[in-house]
Structure 1
Amino acid sequence: MEGLLGERAKALTDAQKLLGDINRDDRIPTADEQAELDRLSKVADDCNDRAQLLEDENRIEREIVASTARGDDAGITSDDRARFDTELRAGIEARTYSAVVRFQPREDGGIERRLSSTTDAAGGALVPQDFLGRIYESRRDNSAVRACGPEVLNTATGRSIPVPRVTTRAVASHVAQGGTISRTSGQPVFDDPTLDAYALKAIVPVSFELLRDEDVDLVSWLSNHLGRALAYAEDDWFISGDGSGKPLGINDSTNGAMVGGTSTVSGGIAWPDVVKLQYSISGGYTGSAASTDQMMPMGRPAWLMGRATLGEIYALSDTTGMPLFRPRRDEGAMDMLDGYRVATTDQMPALGTGVRAGCFGNFYDGLIVRSVNEVRFDIDTSVYFETDEVAFRAVAEVDSHVRDRTAVKALVIKSS
């Protein structure tokens, strides 16, 4: 938020300065000056829109998390909970069933989670807090990319959003006393890639026996499994997506993070490779490595790699056989590597010649993730007819885009 407001303030200041020069000379702006004024106005408007969007959506997310921490049901009664559980099990009796879950602000400022279903003539049942809370937490906690701390835009709809970004940063120059400061030399260059909303689908087959067992907490079981499946699928996009009909991932070889170095070992990693990748990132992006939060806070650097790759690094030893690193043993805590958090996922390439096996840097500056606050659920009893199972499907919408290719860099494994 502070970065957006600062960028907006700078654009307005630059526009005011340029207008002041034009008014002082008592002339109309040239074509280049008018184009610059239009550009600065667009930057300011886009920053203002994004700041307002962030303010609204962050407020909603804080209230969701707060209600989860309190353990309250936001007005949901035991009858509502039982009704929702019954509707989920209704898939046994009907061939198909469809429902949509949305986050909806209430007049009192709270958050209402409503299920609008094709089988509910009354217009939907309140969704139990623990159902959406568990999906929210499971999807967040099982996403390695989200754990690295990218900027996340939570939006109410899937409309396209332009994202202003700097492709060339401002450069200062030495000017003699009384000299003229160039209006064009060293100015930042902006573009505005668009964040869309791509459908992300997860299917969990459930046996008829499990559905008929009323002792099973079906709401909790489904929310955990669907949240985990969505997280795993979105990580694949956020890491390897090429931006063509899908999100652009941070590890895409063409438009993703720039290469920070190549390993010195064919098909493997040595200690100097870890150090060189870490120090290939500009100091302005790294800041402090210290943090006690499970999720990476804004602006803190992180590592992203496969778990087997991290195991290879942990196995590195000195000439006496002593390990160079000691794995973190705190239950529930993220792994650490040279003082920085490590997020691991099987969606990162395994060690192999020529692959981009690891990334390091400031993911908040490097990657922006867009997540739509809506999840659709479908039930179908025929797709797994031969195995006597019911298919539960969750559909969400996300997108991602690389904002600064130099904020995060990749390590390429040596081929030969």
Structure 2
Amino acid sequence: MTEIMERKAVSGGAPETGEPVRETKVAALPARSDLGGTMEEFLHAFEEFKDANDSRLKALETRGDVLADEKLERINAALDELMLKSRRPSLGGGASAWEAAQAARPGSRFRIGDALEHRSAFDAYMRKGREEGLRQLEAKALSIASDPDGGYLVPDETETQVLSRLANISPIRAIAGNRQVSASVFKKPFATTGAATGWVGETDTRAQTATPKLAELSFPTMELYAMPAATASLLDDAAVNVDEWIAGEVETAFAEQEGAAFINGDGNNKPRGFLDYPTVDETSWSWGKLGTVATGVSGGLPATHASDVLIDLVYALKSGHRQNANWVMNRSTQAEIRKLKDADGNYLWQPPAGVSAAASLMNFPITEAEDMPDIATDATPIAFGDFARGYLVVDRMGIRVLRDPYSAKPYVLFYTTKRVGGGVQDFDAIKLLAFSA
């Protein structure tokens, strides 16, 4: 143990006050060789820091004390060092000292033991095929996925990483609504009409009003899979993070399949895309169909005032939906739209305002989705709407991995599955531009 001490000259008094000089000791701070008990030592050091700072402020109110300032700086540096050490992860994949301290606090709900045990057992299963640890953990948790024939649930950190990466790659997932469920089918009631109301006088009779109409929407989850392969030498390499490797392998495969299904999926063993629903001219819109605005030209935009049809599409959407609306189109359609100008010769398309921002059209962001159709006769290559309200992505909780070292020797296959569904939940929140006469 080391001590941080403040010392003043022993002989004589203070230079200006003449008061006897005292030797002040600050409580010992640990010279860290291990990280046990970090939280308690950190809090103790912080109390010393506050006491030293109070003393410095009192000294400043009188004539100042340079040594008090030096003491405060030393304690502050020691606190910084403790903080850095406490947040370092332990070697070998264990919990950091900070996590251990949080879990040890009285009444704390922070528990790291189960998570670390699952992570360690999952790593052993992935690398060596040892499934005893996972079987015991998931049987203890009453998991429906504890059957070795069905695979084992990946750790929470891996599942979150995959879903996060999908949100960055799959364009519709990034702007759509999302719900995680534990059942195979998600059912949601939706009020298609509100309660009827009316004006009456003070003494007039009150007639019974009509009740709201509800529509039940059903979103079944379908199985999506990927099967990355690895060699035994890769799995034996301790430098390879198996969790990150799985996430990196499946993210592109899952995102490509999801992106196509959320737009054009027919609902047969896959989510139902919003372009698979019936369409009707916006003037005749009814629940269960998506409204369309025609360009007036078969397979193209009008020769003059082409941007007017885009304005019509924008205002086909109710004001409450326009607040969070997005354009959705592929890159070839966007290339045509970029050429449009207003009456003053200014381009309607605007580049992103920042690194993470999206390009905009008429001040609404553009989402580029390659699975949208190209411009063609009677096609609907441009969608505009509040997709967070209009389209729902349903994820069944849990991503499973089944290790298969036999089917493709010398490779080890990892059959990775997740269940996802999707469909339109508000038919009035998405409008389509139809390139038709």
Whether the aligned pair in 1 keeps the contact of 2:331 and 2:368 (CA below 8 Å) is yes
Whether the aligned pair in 2 keeps the contact of 1:316 and 1:323 (CA below 8 Å) is yes
Question: Which of 131, 135, 140 is 2:167 aligned to?
Answer: 140
Question: Which of 302, 308, 314 is 1:272 aligned to?
Answer: 308
Q: What does residue 153 of structure 1 align with?
A: 179
Q: Using CA pairs below 8 Å that are at least 6 residues apart, which structure has the higher relative contact order?
A: 1
Whether the aligned pair in 2 keeps the contact of 1:158 and 1:397 (CA below 8 Å) is no
- For the pair shown, the structure with the greater C-alpha radius of gyration is 2
Question: Which of 351, 355, 361 is 2:375 aligned to?
Answer: 351
Count matched residues.
314
Kindly report which structure 2 residues correspond to 1:69-218, keeping only aligned pairs within 5 A, or say none: 74-75=112-113, 84-90=122-128, 116=146, 118=148, 127=155, 129=157, 131-150=158-177, 152-155=178-181, 157-173=182-198, 178-185=203-210, 187-206=211-230, 211=235, 214-218=238-242
Q: Distance in 2 between matches of 1:168 and 1:377?
A: 44
1:163 match: secondary structure: strand
Q: Distance in 1 between matches of 2:115 and 2:321?
A: 48
**Which amino acid in the other structure matches residue 278 of structure 1?**
V
Q: What does residue 431 of structure 2 align with?
A: 409
Identical columns (%): 25
Whether the aligned pair in 1 keeps the contact of 2:153 and 2:398 (CA below 8 Å) is no
Q: Distance in 2 between matches of 1:175 and 1:360?
A: 40
1:281 aligned to 2:313? no
Q: What does residue 415 of structure 2 align with?
A: 393
Gap change, CA 1:126 and 1:390, over 3 Å in 2: closer
Q: Distance in 2 between matches of 1:321 and 1:208?
A: 62
Q: Alpha-carbon deviation of 1:373?
A: 0.9
**Which amino acid in the other structure matches residue 223 of structure 1?**
A
1:232 match: secondary structure: helix
Q: What does residue 312 of structure 1 align with?
A: 336
Q: Distance in 2 between matches of 1:126 and 1:75?
A: 16
**Which amino acid in the other structure matches residue 309 of structure 2?**
D
Q: Distance in 1 between matches of 2:227 and 2:244?
A: 16
Q: Alpha-carbon deviation of 1:194?
A: 2.5
Q: What does residue 296 of structure 1 align with?
A: none
Q: What does residue 326 of structure 2 align with?
A: 302
Structure 1 residue runs of 5 or longer lacking an equivalent are 1-66, 107-112, 288-299
Q: Alpha-carbon deviation of 1:398?
A: 1.9
Whether the aligned pair in 2 keeps the contact of 1:134 and 1:227 (CA below 8 Å) is no
Q: Distance in 2 between matches of 1:341 and 1:392?
A: 38
Q: What does residue 23 of structure 1 align with?
A: none
Gap change, CA 1:275 and 1:375, over 3 Å in 2: same
Q: Distance in 2 between matches of 1:77 and 1:165?
A: 38
Q: Alpha-carbon deviation of 1:199?
A: 1.3
Whether the aligned pair in 1 keeps the contact of 2:176 and 2:390 (CA below 8 Å) is no
1:188 match: secondary structure: coil
1:331 match: secondary structure: coil
**Which amino acid in the other structure matches residue 357 of structure 2?**
A
Q: Alpha-carbon deviation of 1:163?
A: 0.9
Q: Distance in 2 between matches of 1:355 and 1:73?
A: 54
**Which amino acid in the other structure matches residue 271 of structure 1?**
S
**Which amino acid in the other structure matches residue 227 of structure 1?**
E
TM-score normalised according to structure 2 size? 0.59
Alignment deviations for residues 129-150 of structure 1 (CA, whole Å, 9 cap, x no partner): 3x23321211222222222242
2:273 match: secondary structure: coil
Q: Distance in 1 between matches of 2:216 and 2:162?
A: 32
Q: Distance in 2 between matches of 1:383 and 1:322?
A: 60
Gap change, CA 1:175 and 1:369, over 3 Å in 2: farther
TM-score normalised according to structure 1 size? 0.61
Whether the aligned pair in 1 keeps the contact of 2:265 and 2:273 (CA below 8 Å) is yes
Q: Distance in 2 between matches of 1:320 and 1:137?
A: 42
